[in-house]
Amino acid sequence: MEQNERSRSPLLSRIRMPQTLRVVVADDESLARQKLRILLSEETGINIVAECSNGAETIRALRDYRPDLLLLDVQMPDMDGFEVLGSIATEDLPLVIFTTAYDQYALKAFEAHALDYLLKPFDHDRLHGALERARTAMLNAGDPTLTKRLLAFLSGSPEPQSDQRLVIRAGGRVVFLDAAEIEWIEAAGNYVRLHAGKDSYVLRGSIGRIAERLDAGQFVRIHRSTLVNVNSIRELQPCNSGEFMVILRNGKELSCSRGYRSGLQSLIENTPLA
């Protein structure tokens, strides 16, 4: 096992950033570990406490160093990444980001509650985004209430639907998208397009099928081809013939047809007036 203790860096960014992330890198390919080492050296506040080339070394490193984050390859010679995770008690698991050349394990990684899934070859921007998610998760874990929810989530206890994530293959990568990040969804032939901030993702399937997978208390159907996250709605403007114009917080205007206005009316009736 290669060990590389670096000096701890100061706080990364005043309030938002947590302290240095202590990282274990696990990959059986030396070139892959080297690339990760180089990419991580471009980040501020990263301390690689151990590099491991197989499952047994990884388990020892997790127990010895108790890192904040594990960058884990799926396929290793003695045991795969999922067997490694299964060998560690839930409460002792760090945040996990899978790094692999195979996209077929994405769903299994999702079920194992991985924070992210990086498809090789990935660049610095992709890794940086995953590390930012790890920093955010670390900050949230500092809240006792959120910590309890996180442990319940990892142990397999039921979580609210609003916390669910979708696995999306996009542009040669696998994205774990929180349902809460989705602002609205539109049907596009045999596909649906999910709009989340500046990004959009295309999934094969019907809007009815995607609606079944989402929390009915968070997403409302306003048109046969449109589904909206109620938390993204800024205002409703009545139009002719009993229809509404739905204005999102980002300024997007969506039409609500009469056939689906009951969902919005229920939303209005069940929302306390300020």
* Same domain, residue pair 116 and 189: no
Residue 112 pLDDT > 90, yes or no?
no
Rg (CA), the chain: 21
Cα separation of 7 and 2, whole Å? 17
* Same domain, residue pair 118 and 198: no
Tell me the average pLDDT across 183-195: 88
CATH of the domain at 174: 2.40.50.1020
Q: How confident is the model at residue 201 (pLDDT cuts 50, 70, 90)?
A: confident
**DSSP H/E element including 217:** none
184 neighbors 195 (Cβ within 8 angstroms)? yes
The residues that bridge with 48 in the sheet, in sequence order, are 23
* pLDDT for the residue 272: 53
* Same domain, residue pair 250 and 135: no
Residue 17 pLDDT > 80, yes or no?
no
* Same domain, residue pair 70 and 116: yes
**DSSP H/E element including 254:** strand 253-256
* pLDDT for the residue 136: 80
Position with higher pLDDT, 33 vs 112: 33
- 8-state DSSP, 122: -
Domain count within the chain: 2
Residue 146 pLDDT > 70, yes or no?
no
Boundary residue ending a domain (120, 154, 188): 154
* pLDDT for the residue 268: 61
Considering the chain, what percentage of its residues have pLDDT values greater than 70?
Answer: 77
**DSSP H/E element including 153:** helix 144-154
Per-residue pLDDT of 52-82, as tens digits, reads: 999 999 999 999 999 999 999 999 988 999 9
Residue 151 pLDDT > 90, yes or no?
no
* Same domain, residue pair 128 and 32: yes
Per-residue pLDDT of 204-262, as tens digits, reads: 888 888 888 888 878 888 888 999 998 898 888 877 666 778 889 899 999 888 777 77
Cα separation of 115 and 15, whole Å? 22
In a domain? residue 142: yes
How many Cβ atoms sit within 10 Å of the Cβ of residue 157? 9
The residues that bridge with 226 in the sheet, in sequence order, are 186, 223
* Same domain, residue pair 185 and 226: yes
Task: Return the beta strands (E) in 91-189 as ranges.
Answer: 95-100, 116-119, 165-170, 173-178, 184-188
Residue 11 pLDDT > 60, yes or no?
no
Residue 110 pLDDT > 60, yes or no?
yes
Residue 37 pLDDT > 50, yes or no?
yes
Residue 13 pLDDT > 60, yes or no?
no
Residue 100 pLDDT > 80, yes or no?
yes
Q: Which two tokens stand for residue 201?
A: 């993702």
Position with higher pLDDT, 131 vs 139: 131
* pLDDT for the residue 166: 80
Q: Please give the C-alpha separations between residue 224 and each of 112, 126, 239, in angstroms, as whole numbers.
A: 34, 35, 18
Length of the chain: 274
CATH of the domain at 29: 3.40.50.2300
Cα separation of 213 and 164, whole Å? 9
